[in-house]
Amino acid sequence: PCNVVVLISGSGSNLQALIDSLGEGNPARICAVISNRADAYGLTRAQNAGIATAVLDHKAFASREAFDAALIESIDAFQPDLVVLAGFMRILSADFVHHYHGRLLNIHPSLLPRHKGLHTHQRALEAGEAEHGCSVHFVTEELDGGPLVVQGVVPVQPGDSPEALAKRVQIGEHYIYPLAVRWFAEGRLRLTNHGAELDGAPLPASGQQ
Ligand code: GAR
């Protein structure tokens, strides 16, 4: 099996999609869910699925480096093969990212490399884009800039609000994140010096970010 630790900060709908994708034939196994917020609803989702949880409040630490060091310790206690950021709303230090090089995935609510950072749905609407979506990528030091693994495209519809668009994007997220995690767990997805590879072949757009 492939042991996965999932990091969350909020609702955990992506965590739920991952939980729902586990089971027969899927070598991924979520061994723990860690949140930086004690009130994250995703913790309840994890508990309902019988998954171990931990809370590490970033406000209890003097610096990002101190928080990240404690986070590494907390994660590594579960000896994960893969760490999955699922709505984890903290920027991670270079040391953290290096520690998990090649085994750290993130999902971002835009078609990267467009709209890195926050308020992605509003920015896609303001830019008048016809298409928006979500991206799974390996995490590197560059914020929202690591090699792409898979993207989900959704149409922008006339009169869309950021909230309506966000809901449509999230449906896409719930498809692509379980897919990417399963690929990794099956040993099919790897990070190389050239970008992400699936079954030994470079993924389209993986090096473009
Ligand atoms: C997701 O839409 C994810 O793409 C986004 O947070 C949401 C978490 O939802 N992540 C980021 O914005 C990362 N910068 P969830 O808690 O319901 O999975």
Burial 131-141 (b: 16+ CB within 10 A, else e): ebbbbbbbbbe
CA-closest residue to ligand 1 atom 16: 12
> 80: CA distance to ligand 1 center in Å?
21
What gap in Å lies between CA 165 and CA 135, rounded to an integer? 15
Does residue 109 have a cis bond before it (omega within 30 degrees)? no
Contact assessment for residue 1 and residue 28, using Cβ atoms and an 8 Å cutoff: yes
What gap in Å lies between CA 202 and CA 75, rounded to an integer? 29
pLDDT at 204: 80
CA-closest residue to ligand 1 atom 7: 87
CA-closest residue to ligand 1 atom 9: 87
45 is in an annotated binding site: no
Q: Is 80 in the pocket of ligand 1 (CB under 6 A)?
A: no
Q: Is 13 in the pocket of ligand 1 (CB under 6 A)?
A: yes
pTM beyond 0.90: yes
Above pLDDT 70, what percent of the chain?
Answer: 99
pLDDT tens for each residue of 114-168: 999 999 999 999 999 999 999 999 999 999 999 999 999 999 999 999 999 999 9
> 109: CA distance to ligand 1 center in Å?
7
Contact assessment for residue 78 and residue 31, using Cβ atoms and an 8 Å cutoff: yes
Residue 99 annotated to the active site = no
**Residue among 201, 190, 207, 133 nearest 165 (CA):** 133
pLDDT tens for each residue of 82-118: 999 999 999 999 999 999 999 999 999 999 999 999 9
Q: Is 122 in the pocket of ligand 1 (CB under 6 A)?
A: no
